[in-house]
Amino acid sequence: MNKYVITIARGYGSGGRTIGKLLAEKLGIPYYDRDLLRLASDDSGINENLFAKADEKLKKSLLFKIASNVYKGELIPPDSDDFVSNDNLFNYQAKIIKELAQTQSCIIIGRCADFVLRDADNVIKVFVHAPLSDCINTLKDMTGKPEKEIEKQIADIDKHRAEYYKYYTGRSWDDAKNYDLCLNSSQLGFDKCVEIVEAYLNIRFR
């Protein structure tokens, strides 16, 4: 099989990261999540902390200024006042995502990777979700936090992810049309989700 990429968008608490790691281990390919921030920092020379602060979030001021700034592939040059803007931080992450897709098979978590790689024919786009009650129970077991606090955290994080996705893609984050597979991790379990993605991979590319 030639090089392929599996992108995973996920609701908070649905286990998308866990499924990505299990897939990477089973397929024997690299897994990229926050590693992308370091790679983008190394490539651009911009401090990694700035990438971390902007990671999958938008400042409220941006949302009021402009409805969206759909990614088109351009980089802002170092001599510009906007070189370290959130938009250019996204541009450099997208640049890294494209380079990875061209050079290796891998799993990429979040960061609008499905949209960045929308014109590539070697990409499988996955969205992982689960009912709110199950996400709450998963995070409660992991963190021990009160249920109400977790519910608010889920709402806030998913809202940030949806806004970030809408801003840079012009699309709705949870729209099934954006993805090849939408998996309910609560009904299927993590291992079955991995099996389904692997089966789809084999059908499509092997």
pLDDT at site 104:
95
Q: Is the pLDDT of residue 62 over 60?
A: no
pLDDT at site 80:
83
Helix (H) or strand (E) run with residue 70 in it: none
Which tops the pLDDT comparison, 66 or 142?
Answer: 142
Q: Say if residues 71 and 65 touch (Cβ distance below 8 Å).
A: no
pLDDT at site 64:
43
112-152 pLDDT, tens digit per residue, is 999 999 999 999 999 999 999 999 999 998 888 999 999 99
Q: In angstroms, what CA-CA distances link 89 with 86, 126, 169?
A: 5, 24, 15
What is the Cα–Cα distance from 74 to 88, expressed in whole angstroms?
A: 9
**Helix 147-169 to helix 132-143 angle, to the nearest 10 degrees?**
120
11-39 pLDDT, tens digit per residue, is 999 999 999 999 999 999 999 998 988 99
Across the beta sheet with 123-129, the strand order is: 31-32, 106-109, 5-10, 123-129, 181-184
Residue 151: how many CB atoms within 10 A of its CB?
A: 18
Q: Which of 46, 24, 12, 22 is nearest to 160 (CA)?
A: 12
Q: Which CATH architecture has domain 5-205?
A: 3-Layer(aba) Sandwich (3.40)
What is the Cα–Cα distance from 38 to 189, expressed in whole angstroms?
A: 31
User: Which pTM was predicted?
Assistant: 0.90
Strand-strand pairing, 123-129 and 5-10? parallel
Residue type for position 137? N
